Structure 1
Amino acid sequence: MEAPSTPSKSRNPNKFQSSSSSSSHHHSAMARKSSLVKQTIVCSACFVLVLYAFFNTFLHPTDSPPSPLFPDGVVRDDVFVGSAVAASRVKVFMYDLPRQFTVGIIEGHARARGSSDFSKSRYPGHQHMGEWYLFADLNRTEEERVGSPVVRVLDPEEADLFFVPVFSSLSLIVNTNRPGADQAYSDEKMQDELVQWLEQQVYWRRNSGRDHVIAAGDPNALYRVMDQVKNSVLLLSDFGRVRPDQGSLIKDLIIPYAHRINSYTGELGVEKRNTLLFFMGNRYRKDGGKIRDLLFQMLETEDDVIIKHGTQSRENRRAATRGMHTSKFCLNPAGDTPSACRLFDAIVSLCVPVIVSDSIELPFEDVIDYKKIAIFVGTKASLRPGYLASLLRGVSTERILEFQKELKQVVSHYFEYGEPNGAVNEIWRQVSQKLPLIKLMINRDKRLIKRDLSEPDCSCLCTNKTGFLTSI
C-alpha cells in the first residue's frame, strides 16, 4: 500500500502552528469554563452552608412560643437536662443554698413588715431584683427556658460554671428605715455565714471561686465580704463601690436595674409628650450624686421642664410613669454611685435618656450602641447656665423619633426581666462569654504564686503580683 502523504512544511509553513494554537486555545477555553463551573458549584455550596448555619444558630432559638415567667408565683424544681441542644450550651450548676440565704431573706423582709404568714411570702419587687429572676430562671424546665444560652445541670462534675443564688440585694433592705422592726435579722451576719458556707464547698475551693457567679446588684451588696468573693464573676449595677482589684469589665458583668414603672405601650411620636425634660427622684445624694441638687437649682425654673423630688413609693411610681410617658427627654444624673434606676425607667418609657454621669458603665454594650438611644452630656457642660435646656430644644422631631424607634427595638430583649427571651437570657449569654477567660485564669493560678509587692493591684491579669510556682 502507498503510504499516506505527509504535508510538506515548505508548502504551508504555518499550517501546523495554526492547528496547534487553535487546539491550545480550545483546551484553554474548556479549562476556564470547567474551572468557572467548579468555582460556581463550590461558592453555591458554601453559600448554602452559611445560610444553614445562620438559620440554625440565630433564628431557631426564637422559633419556640414564649411562656410566662411563673404566673402562679411558684418556683418549680423539675428541670429537664440532657437534650442534644442542651449539650452544646454552657452548663451551670446552681447551689441548693441553705434557706437563710434565699427563702429566709424573703421571710425576714416580710416579718419586718408585720407579716406572720410566710406561706404567702414572695420575693418583693425592687430595683435590684435581677437576682430573683436568675434564680427563678434556673428553676424552670428546659422547655420553658426559651432561647437560653445555658443549661442547668444537677451534677456539679458536669458544670462549667456554678451559680450562687444568694439574695444579697434584698438582704440589705430587710430592716432598712423601719422603726420597731425585728432586728434579729442581720445582713452582716448573712454575708459572713455565706462565705463560711462557700469555703466549705469543694468546688469553691477547687478554683478559688473563679468559676462561680454571684449577683450583687445593689452597690452595697456583699460589701463586707467582697474581698473573699472577688474572684467570682460578679453581676453588678456599676463599679461605684468596688475597688479596681475587686471588680472590672474584664471579669464581671454590668446588669440592668429592674424598672419600677410601667413600660410605655403607646405609639411613637411627640404629640402627647408635651414636657421637654422630666426627672423625679431623690434630690439629695452622696458622692457623685451631689450634681442632682445643682441640676435642680438650674432647671426647676425652666417652663417646659419638670424636675421634682420623690422617693420610691407606689404613688410616686404612678406619678413618675405619667411624667416619663408624656416627656420627650428624661434626665438621668448619677446617684450615690454612677448609675441609677431612673435610666431604665426612662428606657422602657421610650423617653430619650439624657445621661449626666461621667463614670457610668452600661449593660450589654457589646450589642447596644447607647449613642443611638441616649444623649450623653458631660457633668461640667451640664452645669453651664441654660446649656442643657437649649441643647434639648434644638433636637428635631425627626431625631426624637429615631431615638424612640431604637429604644423600642431594644426594650423587650435587653431590659425586660419578665420576658421569656429577655434580660435574663442576655445576662446568661454574657456570663457564658466569660468562660474562656475563667479557664485562662484558673490555669494561670495553677502555676503562679502571689508575691507581696508594693505596686498597686490592677483589675485584669495582675502579672506584677505573681511569681512562678515551682513544681514537677
Structure 2
Amino acid sequence: MSKLLSKKQPSAAVPWIEKEKYQKNKDPYFKFLVNPHFRYTALLFVFLSLWFLFQVFWFPPTKTHYAATTVSAVTTTTSYGVHQNPRTTVTLSSPKCNGRVSVYVYNLPEEFNVGLLQDCSHLNVYTNMCPHVANRGLGQPLDNMELGLSDVNPWFATHQFIAEMIFHARVENHPCRTWDPSKATLFYVPFYGGLHVSSKFQEQNHTTRDALAVRLADYLEDQPSWREHYGKDHFIALGRTSWDFMRTDSGPDFGANCLLNLPPVKNMSVLTVERNPWQGSNQHGIPYPSYFHPSTSDQMLTWQRMLRRSNRPYLFSFIGAPRKGVDKAAIRDEMIKQCAESTRCKLLQCNHGNPKCYNPAEILRVMRESQFCLQAPGDSFTRRSTFDSILSGCIPVFFSRHTAYTQYAWFLPEKTSEYSVYIDEQGNGSKRIEAELSKISEEEVERMRATVIDMIPRLTYAHPNASSTDLGFEDAVDVALDALAHHVRTKI
C-alpha cells in the first residue's frame, strides 16, 4: 500500500567545492574561515537551520477542531459505483475536561475486577480469554495490518465482549478523573461483570451464579458516596449484552445472572453493548470495541484519509455464518443466497471454521472494498460487525431497528438515513437487496460515506495510555462520560 503522507527531505543539490580552491593563501576574502571560533558558530547555525527544516517538513502540523469538518472530493465512477479521489481537510477536537464531568473511580475489592483475571483461561466457557485480557483488554497486537502507520501500533485483536476492561483502563487515565469523591459528578464502579457471567454460563445453581453480583450490590449500599443519592450518580460498564444479566424466574435460563434486576443496580446507570429496548430505561448502549485503538490524532487522521481514498469495487458485502432458528436463519440465508448470486457482492462465509473470519485484516479488507455492508442481527439484535463496518468506511445496512437505532443514541446521528440504509427484514426489500441499494444515487452514497468516516472517532476506544494532549479527538469513552453526566444531572 502506498504511503499516505509524503515526507519532504532537505535538498542535497549543493555543488562540491574542492579544497584547494580556497586555500589559506589563495584568496584573502576567505581567510576568516580558518578562525576556529567562527567555524564552530557557522556549523552550529547550519545544524540548527537544517533541524528546523526537518521539523517543518517531516512533521506537518495537525489541526485540532472536530466541529469544523470539511470534505472536498473529486469523484470518478467505476463499473460498480463510486470511487473517491478526495482532497480532504479534517479537523479534530482535543478532549478536555470542561467542568461538566468529574468522575470518581471506585477502588473495588479485587474479586470484582482484576482478581478475576488470575483465572483468565476459565473466564469464558467457550474460549480461553487469556490472550484477550492482555494489554488492559486490547488483546494481542496485530502486525499484519499494512495500513501505512509508522508510529506506535494502534491495531489489536480485540475481543468483541471486552469493552468493560478497556473502559476501566481509559477512565483510570482520563483527564476528568478525580480522587476526591466530594468533587465527583459521576461514580464509576469498575465491575468486570461480563467476564464473570461468561465464566458461569454452565453453572446450574442460580445462587452460586448470582453470588458475586449480590456481593457487589451489598458493597455499594455500604458506601457513603452511594447513600448520598442512592446510586443515581453511579454507573457500571458491561462488555456483554443486557440479556446476560437479566435472568428472571419465569423466563428461560440461558446462563444469565440477575445483576441488572437487583434493586440497587436499577438505581444506577448501566452502559452495555446491547440494551433491552423495552425494559432498559437505565441502560445505555455503548459501541462494541473494534480493532483500532489510536493514541494520537495523527493516527486517526491518517486512517480516515486512507478510507476516503480507498477503491470500493463492490456494491455490497456480507460477512457472517448461517444461524439456527426460524427468524435468524431466514434473513441470513437470504443475504448469503443473494450475495453469492451477485457479481456486485463480496461474500465471506464464516461457517466451517473459515480462518479468514478470524483475521481482522481480512475482515477490514472486505469492508474497505465495499460501499455497503449488510448487518444482519447476530445471536441477539446487535453485532460487533456494525462498528467494524463504520471503521472501514462502509455504509451499514440494517434489517432490524434494534441492531443500532434503538441502541446507541449517544453515538449515532439522530437522522438514520445520514449514515445507514434500513431494509425491513419482513418487507419485500429484503428479497431484492441489490436492487434496493442500486436505487441510491452516487452523490448520496458519497455523502453517506463521508458521514460514516467522520463518525469513526466517537465510536473508537482510544488506547488507554493516550494522553489528552496527543489524542486530539473525543473517543467513545469521552462521549459516554459527557452524555452520562448530562443524564445524571436530570435525575438528581
| Shared fold (TM-score, shorter chain, > 0.5) | yes
1:91 correspondence with 2:102:
yes
Q: Does 1:377 align with 2:423?
A: yes
In 2, Cα distance between equivalents of 1:356 and 1:126: 24
Unaligned segments of structure 1, at least 5 residues: 1-54, 67-84, 146-150, 178-185, 440-472
1:37-56 correspondence runs (5 A): none
Please tell me whether the aligned partners of residues 284 and 292 of structure 1 are also in contact (alpha carbons under 8 angstroms): yes
Measured at CA, do residues 199 and 221 of structure 1 come closer, stay the same or move farther in structure 2, by a change above 3 Å? farther
Q: Report matched runs for 1:73-472 at 5 Å.
A: 88-110=99-121, 122-123=136-137, 124=139, 125-140=158-173, 145=175, 151-174=176-199, 188-219=210-241, 220-223=243-246, 224-228=258-262, 229-240=265-276, 244=279, 247-248=280-281, 251-260=282-291, 266-268=306-308, 272-284=311-323, 289-290=328-329, 291-310=331-350, 315-318=356-359, 319-360=362-403, 361-365=406-410, 368=413, 369-381=415-427, 384-385=430-431, 387-418=432-463, 420=471, 421-439=474-492
Distance in 2 (CA, whole Å) between partners of 1:255 and 1:317 is 23
> Is contact 1:279-1:332 (8 Å) kept?
yes
Query: Identical aligned pairs, as a percentage?
Result: 22
Distance (whole Å) between structure 2 residues aligned to residue 397 and residue 302 of structure 1: 19
Indicate the RMSD between aligned Cα atoms, in angstroms: 3.9
Report the TM-score, using the length of structure 2 for normalisation.
0.60
Deviation at 1:269, TM superposition (A): 5.6
Letter of the 1:268 partner, please give it: R
Question: Larger Cα Rg: Structure 1 or Structure 2?
Answer: 1
TM superposition shift of 1:103: 0.9
3-state SS in 2 of match to 1:354: strand
2:374 and 2:397 in contact (8 A); partners too? yes
Aligned to 2:252: none
* 2:200 and 2:209 in contact (8 A); partners too: no
Report if the CA contact (8 A) 2:284-2:407 is conserved: no
SS in 1 for 2:375: strand
Q: 2:159 and 2:128 mapped to 1: Cα distance?
A: 18
Aligned pair count? 344
SS in 2 for 1:191: helix
CA contact (8 A) 2:105 2:187 kept: yes
CA contact (8 A) 1:160 1:211 kept: yes
1:366 and 1:346, CA in 2 relative to 1: closer, same or farther beyond 3 A? Answer: closer
> Aligned partners of 2:93 and 2:455: how far apart in 1?
19
Question: Higher RCO, 1 or 2 (CA under 8 Å, sep at least 6)?
Answer: 2
How far residue 428 of structure 1 moved from its aligned partner, in angstroms, is 0.7
Mapped contact 2:307–2:393 kept (Cα < 8 A) = no
> For residues 192 and 293 of structure 1, do their structure 2 counterparts lie closer, same or farther at Cα, with a shift above 3 Å needed?
farther
TM-score relative to the length of structure 1: 0.62
Long gaps (5+) in structure 2:
1-63, 69-91, 140-157, 203-207, 247-257, 294-302
Task: Give, in whole Å, the separation in 1 of the partners of 2:334 and 2:177.
Answer: 48
8 A Cα contact 1:288 1:337, kept in partner: no
Secondary structure of 1:431's counterpart equals helix
Cα shift readout 1:357-387 (whole Å, capped 9, x = no counterpart)? 13342424577243211111112226653x2
